[in-house]
């Protein structure tokens, strides 16, 4: 009789343990998904701030380049020296680059290149000595104590 009760208790405990493990796994999965979503949201916010900053910088740089260009053109008209127009060339490249970064499709090209690197040239972006593992972190931590 004692073995029958013990057997039922063992089965009930094993069933309870299995359900508890399933619950813990589901909870861990949900927590990881939330952490991943939070990281993605933080990354998007940081990128949007960077893009907004690029757009603001473009406005100021374009204003500066426009002013300098007008001054160069006025100087050329007054002195008739074409060398005075030379600063317009590098300023044009600078403005073009910043416009592409702020309003063009530069971010799309950068993302495509990053995806290519990760898929086709993974060895170029790999960590030295491979990925960190728990043992390496613990050895480093203990060494620092």
pTM of the model: 0.68
Is 145 part of a structural domain of the chain? no
* Structural domains of the chain, count: 1
Asked whether residue 56 is assigned to any structural domain, the reply reads yes
Q: Which domain holds residue 63?
A: 2-104
Task: Report the chain's C-alpha Rg in angstroms.
Answer: 31
Q: Is residue 124 part of a domain?
A: no
Structural contact between residues 102 and 51, judged by C-beta atoms closer than 8 angstroms: yes
Distances (CA, A) of 32 to 18, 22, 25, 35, 49: 21, 15, 10, 5, 26
Burial of 98 (0-12, 13-18, 19+ CB in 10 A): buried
Residue at 43 is within a domain: yes
Mean pLDDT, rounded, for 95-102: 95
CA–CA gap between residue 82 and residue 91 (Å, rounded): 16
In this prediction, what percent of the chain has a pLDDT beyond 90?
74
50 part of a folded domain: yes
Strand blocks (E) in 22-74: none
Residue 132 within a domain? no
pLDDT, mean of residues 90-110: 94
Domain-embedded: residue 39: yes
* Beta carbons of 54 and 101 less than 8 angstroms apart: yes
CB 72 within 8 A of CB 91: no
pLDDT per position as a tens digit, 3-61:
666 677 888 888 899 999 999 999 999 999 999 999 999 999 999 999 999 999 999 99
Domain membership of residue 91 (yes or no) is: yes
Of 51, 23, 55, the closest CA to residue 108 belongs to 51
> Which tokens in the block code for residue 34?
């939330």
């Amino acid at each position: 009789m004692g073995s029958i009760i013990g057997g039922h208790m063992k089965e009930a405990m094993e069933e309870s343990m299995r359900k508890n493990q399933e619950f813990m796994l589901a909870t861990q999965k949900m927590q990881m998904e939330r952490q991943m979503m939070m990281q993605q949201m933080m990354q998007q916010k940081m990128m949007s701030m960077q893009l907004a900053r690029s757009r603001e910088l473009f406005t100021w740089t374009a204003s500066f380049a426009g002013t300098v260009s007008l001054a160069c053109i006025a100087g050329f008209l007054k002195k008739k020296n074409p060398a005075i127009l030379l600063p317009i060339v590098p300023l044009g490249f600078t403005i073009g680059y910043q416009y592409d970064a702020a309003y063009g499709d530069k971010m799309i090209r950068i993302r495509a290149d990053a995806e290519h690197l990760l898929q086709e040239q993974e060895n170029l972006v790999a960590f030295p000595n491979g990925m960190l593992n728990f043992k390496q972190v613990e050895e480093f931590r203990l060494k620092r104590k």
